[in-house]
Structure 1
Amino acid sequence: MQTLIHVVVLVAISVFAAFAKAEAPADPAALFAQHCARCHGADRLGQMGPALLPENLARLKPAAARTVIAEGRTATQMPAFGQVLSGEQIDALAKWIYTDTGEIPPWGEDRIRASRIVHVDDTRLPNKPVFDADPLNVFLVVEQGDHHVSVLDGDKMERIHRFASRYALHGGPKFTADGRFVYFASRDGWITKYDIWNLTPVVEVRAGINTRNVAVSEDGKVVAVANYLPRTLVLLDGELNLLKVIEVKDKDGKKSSRVSAVYDAAPRKSFVAALKDVPEVWEISYDPKAEPIAAGYVHDYQYQEGGFIPGYLNPRRTVLDDVLDDFFFTQDYTEVMGTARKTRRGQVVNLDIRRKVADLDISGMPHLGSGITWHWHGRTVMASPNLKEGKISIIDMADWKVLKEVKTLGPGFFMRSHEKSRYAWIDSMMSPSHHDTLQILDKETFEIVGQVREPGKTLAHVEFDRNGRYVIASLMEQDGAIIFYDASTWKEIKRLPASKPIGKYNVFNKTRLSEGTSH
């Protein structure tokens, strides 16, 4: 009898649940508050889960977002709601998270300080690697498919370790000069300091809501964070304690701007920031002995007439005629070669005299931030892939003239080489039909001389090992791979399984500023 009653009760509950699922209104705000706010925050700014704002979801298609809501996400704490919500409710929720909130959400000093998490006291950890591999020939591989990072031995071509990362790492990790520590930035603003030698996270802080990238000073004492939301440039110390929040506005203090990127200019002991919405380039010195700069719209958000302010950790402005939101440093870090995504015009800006000194005659949408340099016939040339056109532009850095435009199979995002290699590798990952092919350029003749393919899949973002012997490429599929090629013969040597691997970063090349990789 008890068994029969139990069965009847279970059936009744199932019927009621099915009825409730079918009849509940598709009110996305109410659904979010009930099912999502606990992890993603009532304001959609993120907590344990990532921020759910249009800017943060830019790389996730709405159809994919719907699938995640219905089926959950493997290797994360995101549950499946397909048995809880109706199809109509899921559709409404998926659409709603892509709507604009109508305001720039705040994320100021108090929230940044309160978000800081200390995982371990790194001063108590061994001051040497716990693994048996050349620490300077280690690679970090960002695996976007399940939000992990792999640590690879570049000599043995083997995994040393694999660990979970914050959601959607963005902008490339940045290393301390000795290669021990690395700083990651996630799209929703989390900055993580990770100890590579001890294979452990050290400390984290949330510096923004939508973050573009992070930069680390040459001495490891200052970390700069470029934000889209809010429109700030955040400065932290090496342990991710807050130093300063700089509200980013134009020289008159009227128009705010997103920060496209910030990079370390080590010889200048400064950071250089590109602004997306105002025609200015900022240089922020981290040298305590930096000379004072003319007062203007400064860090305390007040306009000062005349006088001078400290040069340390305050922006020095270069005012331009056009915005510059993607750039490449010259070898001595005196100039930046830059482009604006909207106008697609190139320009060269001298950071010492603080003005444009040349135009770059490049059509399409050159991706100068992914460019490389090499020595050719007694001069230095720079080559850049193009996001809109199938070509590589090769520029003479003495007179800024385009020496040649090399036709490729399609628009590409990355280009890489090495001082010890005659070849540069180019992807066409933006091409609908040729995203499965890497082409190989002879740096001496400026000709395409070879290719490797993974038919029907996406093959992109190569990086050389520290000695220029191997090339490592990403097979960017959910069940993808990290593929090792011989840099001279282009033959595949080995592949390791990986979950949609994207960027790969060699410690030696990045810390020693190899001419074959972006900095």
Structure 2
Amino acid sequence: MIPRLLALLAVAMLLPAAVLAEGGADTEALYQTHCASCHGADRLGGIGPALLPGNLSRLKPAAAEAVIRDGRAASQMPGFADQLEEDQVTSLAEWIYREPEVEPSWGRDEILASQLVHHPDGSLPDEPRFDADPLNLFIVVETGDHHATLLDGDTFEPIHRFATRYALHGGPKYTPDGRYVFFGSRDGWVTKYDIYNMQVVAEVRAGINMRNIAVSGDGRYVMAANYLPHSLVLFDAHNLDLMKVYPAVGENGESSRVSAVYAAPPRGSFIAALKDIEEVWEIPWPLPTEPVVSTGHMATPLAPRRGHDTPNFRVRRIPVPDYLDDFFFDLDYAHVIGASRGGQGGMVVNLDSGEKVADLPLEGMPHLGSGITWEHEGRRVMATPHLTRAAVSIIDMTSWEVIKTLETDGPGFFMRSHANSPYVWADVFFGPNRDRVHVIDKQSLEIVETLIPEPGKTAAHVEFDRYGEKLLLSLWEDDGAVIVYDAETLEEEKRIPMSKPSGKYNVWNKTRYEEGTSH
């Protein structure tokens, strides 16, 4: 990469001053000179990430200027302070946030051309190269420098640290045996990683701006949800071979971004959340004894599966009375709880009948994707934080009534618990009190402790070990750490330095759908 950059810089020295001036066409020339070799001539990405507004949503323009000027630590992104004037840096930063004149496309041909198979499935040894419980491992995603750490869940010692794609999003997903983990990046890359051998098996780019991925309950299929293009993409999990592209188009012909896709193992299907059309989609995968057959796109609605013979990979449309783009499911996936677009409430839809069961008064943008459930006084309840309200809502899942609203020290992002723990942990991710985390008693439904692990540093995202005896909490900073707590005494036991550990994912909890963990 360095020789290519030097060559590009040499060309830049010969360009006339007018080309290096601020302005639309001239700024594009700047981009082609300094950026295109890594980020693609059309800003769709290459060695570096895609540079489109949707992919840059987490990076503020001022921060983008700093990256162009000074480079990015622990990456291949160099700084251009010696080659560009300050107004040129500002112009470039502004330009990459503009929507392209022609909407970029990423379809079957581009997906097929992007596939990289490093170690064909079955070519690596079947025994782990480490001495640890394979079902009590954690993957810790470190977004500060785009790495992940494989962590022993018994000793809390790192086993291996490896580079990931830029800006992982939506949480890694495991095969049921815990051997393989799949990552999805904001700019569309799906990566299959062999935990036993600590090697990347295969990669493929599913889209330009991807929201998340899901893995079927049997571990045989992977589905990706895209904002750009508007699509769902289905892969065979073995080597990430492309199986099918589903354009996200409603019955009225309107196209939609796909907010997320989820695996629903009790139903044997994927469930997709659509941001711009009033539908929920269900796509069944074949049972292990069923052959995989080719199917046409956009079938007519099907009866819910639940053990019935259902054509594989065909879309069942479920009309809903509002746009739903953030989901939570009950334990057997009979109902989906969705947040409405305006963030002023939610609704419950029965996935078998397709009928709305209840409306939920959940003002303040409930973050249902982080909701959890537990048993309280003989009934199942769910709890969700709110992104714009300092509260946690607790809902009876039989009557669908809000039975309690806990006032917190600020809006939150994540909640976690475990079947063997008496407590729920809820962070205060937004606002001046982001260094706090609340501990809620499951039976009294009261906040019994508020911890401040490191004053002034964001505390977020709890994950328990497989037994519910220990838990990990992130200091969500570039010079952050994962903190190990005793789940009963709430005492800190250990700190493991990490670079913005945004999420920690335990194999047992995520493959057994352990109560108290988000799915």
Give the superposed CA RMSD: 2.3
CA distance in 2, matches of 1:355, 1:85: 58
The question of whether the paired residues in 2 share the 8 Å contact of 1:236 and 1:243 is answered with yes
Structure 1 partner of 2:305: none
Partner of 2:248: 248
SS class of match (2:29): helix
Structure-to-structure mapping, 1:253-292, within 5 angstroms: 254-287=253-286
Task: Look up the equivalent residue of 1:501 and give its one-letter code.
Answer: P
* Cα distance in 1 between the residues matched to 2:246 and 2:15: 53
Q: Could you tell me which residue of structure 2 aligns to residue 403 of structure 1?
A: 403
Q: Which residue of 1 aligns with 2:389?
A: 389
Count, aligned residues: 494
- C-alpha distance in 1, partners of 2:97/2:439? 39
Q: Cα gap change, 1:82/1:423 in structure 2, threshold over 3 Å: closer, same or farther?
A: same
Once the two structures are superposed, residues 337-366 of structure 1 have per-residue CA deviations (whole angstroms, 9 ceiling, x without a partner) of 111232522100111111211111222111
* Residues 267 and 332, structure 1, Cα contact 8 Å, conserved in 2: yes
What amino acid does structure 1 have at the position aligned with 2:214? A
| 1:468 positional shift | 0.9
What SS is found at the alignment partner of 1:95? Answer: helix
Q: State which structure, 1 or 2, has the greater radius of gyration over its C-alpha atoms.
A: 1
* Corresponding residue of 2:484: 484
Which residue matches 1:116? 115
Counterpart check, 1:467 vs 2:463 = no
Provide closer, same or farther for how the CA distance between residues 289 and 136 of structure 1 changes in structure 2, counting only shifts above 3 A: closer
Q: Which amino acid aligns with 2:507?
A: V
SS at match of 2:99: coil
Cα deviation, 1:14-51, whole Å, max 9, x if unaligned, reads 9x979988994232100000111111111101111100
Match of 2:66 in 1: 67
Deviations 1:445-473 (A, max 9, x none): 00001121121111100101111111101
Identity of aligned residues (%): 56
Shift of 1:488: 1.2
Cα deviation, residue 381, structure 1: 0.6
The aligned counterpart of 1:377 is: 377
One-letter amino acid of the structure 1 residue matched with residue 275 of structure 2: K
Contact 1:140-1:151 within 8 A present in 2 as well = yes
Which whole-Å CA distance do the structure 2 matches of 1:19 and 1:176 have between them? 52
1:490 is displaced (CA, Å) by 1.3
CA distance in structure 1 between the partners assigned to 2:102 and 2:323 by the alignment = 24
1:205 to 1:289, Cα distance in 2 relative to 1, 3 A: closer
SS in 1 for 2:55: coil
Q: Note the C-alpha offset of 1:251.
A: 1.6
Structure 1 position 310, deviation (Å): 7.4
Instruction: Give the 3 Å change call, closer, same or farther, for CA 436–230 of structure 1 in structure 2.
Output: same
What secondary structure sits across from 1:146 in the alignment?
A: coil
Deviation for aligned residue 1:305? 12
Q: Distance in 1 between matches of 2:27 and 2:358?
A: 52
Matches within 5 A, 1:41-56: 41-56=40-55
Measured in 1, the distance between the counterparts of 2:423 and 2:163 equals: 34
Q: C-alpha distance in 2, partners of 1:289/1:169?
A: 30
Call closer, same or farther: CA 1:230–1:24 in 2, change over 3 Å. Answer: closer
**TM-score normalised by L of structure 1:** 0.92
What is the correspondence of 1:89-100 to structure 2 with a 5 Å cutoff? 89-100=88-99
CA distance in 1, matches of 2:493, 2:88: 49
Gaps of 5+ in 2: 1-9, 303-308
Q: Which stretch shifts more, 113-122 or 309-318?
A: 309-318
Trace 1:101-500 onto structure 2 (pairs within 5 A): 101-238=100-237, 239-252=239-252, 254-287=253-286, 300=297, 311-430=311-430, 432-453=431-452, 454-500=454-500
TM-score, with structure 2 as normaliser: 0.92
| SS at structure 1 position matched to 2:471 | strand
Structure 1 SS opposite 2:148: strand
Letter in 1 for 2:33: Q
2:4 paired residue number: none
**Deviation readout 1:49-83 (Å, 9 max, x if unpaired):** 10000000000111111111111112211111111
Question: Partner letter of residue 90 of structure 2?
Answer: D
Whether the 8 Å contact between 2:435 and 2:455 is mirrored in structure 1 is yes
Match of 1:31 in 2: 30
Deviation at 1:311?
A: 2.8
Helix, strand or coil at the partner of 1:89: helix
